[in-house]
Amino acid sequence: MKNHASELKTHFDLVIFGGDGDLSFRKIYPALYYRLLENQISTEDRILALARNERTSEEFRTMLKTELGKHIEDLDDKIADDLLSIVTYYVVDIEKSKEENRIPKYFENTEDRVRAFYLATPASIFGQISSFLNELGLINDNSRVVLEKPLGTDLKSSEEINIKVAEYFQEKQIYRIDHYLGKETVQNLMVLRFANNIFERSWNAQEIDNIQITVAESLGVGTRGDFYDKYGALKDMVQNHLLQLLCLIAMEPPVTLDADQVRDEKLKVLKALRPFTKETITTNTVRGQYTRGKTKEGHLASYLEDINKYDSGTETFVALKTYIDNWRWGGVPIYLRTGKRMPHRFSEIVINFKHVPHNIFPEKKDIDNNKLTIRLQPEERIELQQMVKIPGPGGYRYKPFSLELDYADHFNDRFPDAYERLLMDVVRGNQTLFMRRDEVKASWEWIESILKNWKSEKVPNILYEAGTKGPGELVMNDETSWVKSRHVIKVQEKKDK
């Protein structure tokens, strides 16, 4: 067991608004459990769960223990009990006055501890909670606030939330979470690019033909129908997760890992993204919604059945072709795709290098291009496709072959969940993996160019069966697989020429 506790200079109080919610039980408490298991936090630290439901701390702890059991394999009783021993539960009502809420007492004589407020609530009340904390006199120099995504439903509402929160917290105290940035494999993108010389030299428009980022999910919207229907795949996944992945792939090397230096570079990518117009919105975007489907396990409900409505224009699949208009990436198509109810869950980034300029081998007309595939989940793998000669006499016969680095073969440790890293960064005061306000604004500005044109050009959802590979088959007619549908926009463009 590693002893990290000494790394943290001070003890902390973590205050979770929405402390009995789904996110808290699935992600936040399990993350705290594992950090306790690894001695990175201790029983000197404190967790205050706040929610509106009437119950005592004791009742909450019993509930929490059951929840931990659901989300953690081989739960260690001793560690779970240690965690419970530092958890307090208070009923809180932000509409009520200072006197009616007991929180301030909890913080008496704790000025020197890190005080992190985690807002695991709808973003629409982030401003109100910040003002509530201010009224209670709980915001001090050691305070930080963690804002869960999605931050607003469009540029305007996201800016309103940011402005409101900024009345009470300085930017250096605000931690906007995008949990993709906490994933080990996503952080590895930085190492892959900036700790290896061979890639960086060919990481540009001269050598790269196109970049493809795909996040496919096999799940549907589950019990989050009401929430999801207000967002859709574009706002739920592209505005944050896919754009953050793109930033890490496309940004210039930052001078150091300093939070602002990294975020300055990411911001430049977002600002260079080419906005969509009424001409490109129909050729360079595809949106879809899943209908009923079946798998070997049985029938899958349609999106409308999942959200229990007769009608909805919300997309559960989106594919975009875009460009980063700068010197490094000028003219390189970038494909972003994400969808729910795909046959498999996987996230990957594919860098397709250009073909060799001239083929000296008569045996084959086209030589396959080199391809770097970075598989982020469920398994973590890096593959570099190259051409190799097939052994034997009789000329040069060759075929594509991949050099593979499978993480599981080389790293036996459990991969910590994104929230473990992110929570510890909040406590340590490291904002590198959190989105700065101007980044959020720039990504919403670009997303607005899609939303606006989808609306004005009445771009329809193409239906696809749940459990299939997306609406590609309908768009492309002759191509049926999700893998091939990744090229849907490209194929369309070739026809247009």
> Could you list the residues that contact ligand BG6 (CB under 6 A)?
217, 236
Q: Is 11 a catalytic residue?
A: no
Closest separation between CB of residue 495 and ligand BG6, Å?
33
Closest separation between CB of residue 214 and ligand BG6, Å?
12
Structural contact between residues 110 and 78, judged by C-beta atoms closer than 8 angstroms: no
Closest separation between CB of residue 381 and ligand BG6, Å?
16
Nearer to ligand BG6, 49 or 237 (CB): 237
Closest separation between CB of residue 347 and ligand BG6, Å?
6
Instruction: Dump the DSSP string for 241-300.
Output: IIHHHHHHHHSPPPSSS-HHHHHHHHHHHHHHBPPP-TTHHHHSEEEEEEE-EEETTEEE
Closest separation between CB of residue 84 and ligand BG6, Å?
26
Residues facing 213 on adjacent strands: 336, 349
Nearer to ligand BG6, 19 or 225 (CB): 225
Q: For residues 117 and 138, what is the distance between their CA atoms, to the nearest angstrom?
A: 10
Nearer to ligand BG6, 20 or 236 (CB): 236
**Beta strand ranges found along 23-153 (DSSP E):** 46-51, 87-91, 114-119, 143-147
Q: For residues 482 and 343, what is the distance between their CA atoms, to the nearest angstrom?
A: 9
Closest separation between CB of residue 311 and ligand BG6, Å?
21
DSSP state of 365: S
Instruction: Dump the DSSP string for 197-240.
Output: HHHHTT-STTTEEEEEEEEE-S---TT-HHHHHHHHHIIIIIII
In 344-417, alpha helices (H): 407-410
The edge-to-edge listing of strands for the beta sheet with 398-406 is: 398-406, 381-389, 371-377, 346-353, 208-216, 334-339, 317-322, 285-291, 462-465
Residues facing 293 on adjacent strands: 300
Provide the 3-class DSSP secondary structure of residue 429.
Answer: coil
Please pick, among 4, 71, 241, 299, the residue that the annotation labels catalytic: 241
Provide the 3-class DSSP secondary structure of residue 91.
Answer: strand
Nearer to ligand BG6, 211 or 242 (CB): 242
Nearer to ligand BG6, 80 or 181 (CB): 181
Burial class (CB in 10 A: 0-12, 13-18, 19+), 193: middle
Comparing CA positions, the residue from 384, 387, 383 lying closest to residue 375 is 383
Closest separation between CB of residue 180 and ligand BG6, Å?
7
Extract the tokens encoding 6: 């000494």
* Side-chain-facing half-sphere of 172: CA atoms under 13 Å: 7
Nearer to ligand BG6, 217 or 420 (CB): 217
Nearer to ligand BG6, 233 or 262 (CB): 233
Nearer to ligand BG6, 217 or 229 (CB): 217
Closest separation between CB of residue 463 and ligand BG6, Å?
20
For Cα atoms 153, 155, 158, give the angle at the middle one, nearest 5 degrees.
65
Nearer to ligand BG6, 332 or 350 (CB): 350
Give the orientation angle of helix 155-166 with respect to helix 126-135, to 10 degrees.
10
Provide the 3-class DSSP secondary structure of residue 155.
Answer: helix
For Cα atoms 339, 274, 478, give the angle at the middle one, nearest 5 degrees.
45
Closest separation between CB of residue 449 and ligand BG6, Å?
22
Query: What residues are annotated to the active site?
Result: 241
